[in-house]
Amino acid sequence: MIDLHTHSTVSDGTFSPAELAAEAHKTGLSLFALTDHDTVAGVAEAQQAGKELGIGVLPGIEISVTWQPGELHLLGLGIDPENKTLQDLMTYAQGRRQERNIKIIERFNEAGIPIDLKKLAGIAGGAVIGRPHFAKYLVQEKKAKNIQEAFQNYLGKGRPFYIEKECLTLAESIQAIKAAHGIPVLAHPMSLYLSWGKLPETIAHFKEEGLIGLEAWHSGARYGECLRLEALAEELGLLVTAGSDFHGANRKDVHLGRTTHNIPIEDRFFTDNLLPALAKVNPAYCMPSGGRRAFWGGGG
């Protein structure tokens, strides 16, 4: 059992990278990908913990890409986290996120809901501040009963304190992932908010821009949707991945190593699908069958 889409406290999860590795090991996973939002800062810690525990940790990232009307997120799997092109782009993206946070804070202050920066930073715990941290702050200050209500009343799209994030383009995101010897995969395609009539043409266009994979199996999609997405990926010649999108306590209905309908994520999504693609672009993944790759933290 594996998982190709997880988050730690470095972005918006509730497990530190090391704690996530321990939880994955406890759950019985053989490998997981750490794919924090717009950062690779947790990869080294996760891989060190993975090495000690004997569990594979695939370095990854989830990049927010400019898109309307829904959301477009791009997974970079098997990347070199030290690649300068990728790091420079993420530094730029985090700068745009910080600018957005300032605007959100100003809007709250103008509405008579003061934001204590020290408390907000404490909630983020050193991670780049995002809307989930604002939501936790609102719950802590008794402005909302829970995270869901905070998004429904304040922070969700169309709500009074939502400010559109200035994201990266698909082309530059794909280019950065490939520069880092990784595989660009479209995360949770249903979040594009496209009809089935428009989805094939759109994803085909993404492939023309360099997309290689499709996360057909995701915990937030319906079973039938996952089947259709896998068939679409095969039709378009895209590799298929599967992930939980695990965030810890922030999404209690999502479990490590499980995708839609709580189905265990099979090893084949890595061994048969992703690994051969990685082997074509990165020598670190070229080893005899059954070998362990120090590059992704599995030990010698």
pTM here?
0.88
Query: What CA–CA distance (Å, rounded) separates 287 from 291?
Result: 6
Element (DSSP H or E) covering residue 3: strand 2-6
pLDDT of residue 270: 95
Average confidence (pLDDT) over 27-46: 96
Average confidence (pLDDT) over 39-57: 95
pLDDT of residue 289: 47
CA nearest to 173, candidates 265, 256, 28, 72: 72
% of residues, the chain, pLDDT over 90:
78
Range in 87-91, 191-195, 286-290 with the lowest mean pLDDT: 286-290
pLDDT of residue 294: 45
pLDDT of residue 70: 87
Q: Where do the DSSP E strands lie in 116-192?
A: 183-186
Residues 6+ apart with CB under 8 A from 257: 1, 2, 3, 24, 27, 28, 29, 32, 244, 264, 265
Domains within the chain, CATH numbers bracketed? 2-89+166-296 (3.20.20.140), 90-155 (1.10.150)
114 pLDDT above the threshold of 60: yes
User: 140 exposed, middle or buried (CB, 10 Å; 0-12, 13-18, 19+)?
Assistant: middle
pLDDT digits (tens, 9 = 90+) for 248-293: 987 888 999 999 999 999 999 999 999 999 999 988 787 554 444 5
245 pLDDT above the threshold of 80: yes
CA nearest to 97, candidates 142, 129, 49: 129
| Bigger pLDDT: 226 vs 166 | 226
pLDDT digits (tens, 9 = 90+) for 121-138: 888 877 778 888 999 999
Angle at 130 between CA 252 and CA 74, to 5 degrees: 80
Query: What CA–CA distance (Å, rounded) separates 159 from 109?
Result: 16
pLDDT digits (tens, 9 = 90+) for 136-173: 999 999 999 998 899 999 999 889 999 887 789 999 99
Q: What is the mean pLDDT of the chain?
A: 91
Q: Please, are residues 140 and 124 in contact by the beta-carbon 8 Å criterion?
A: no
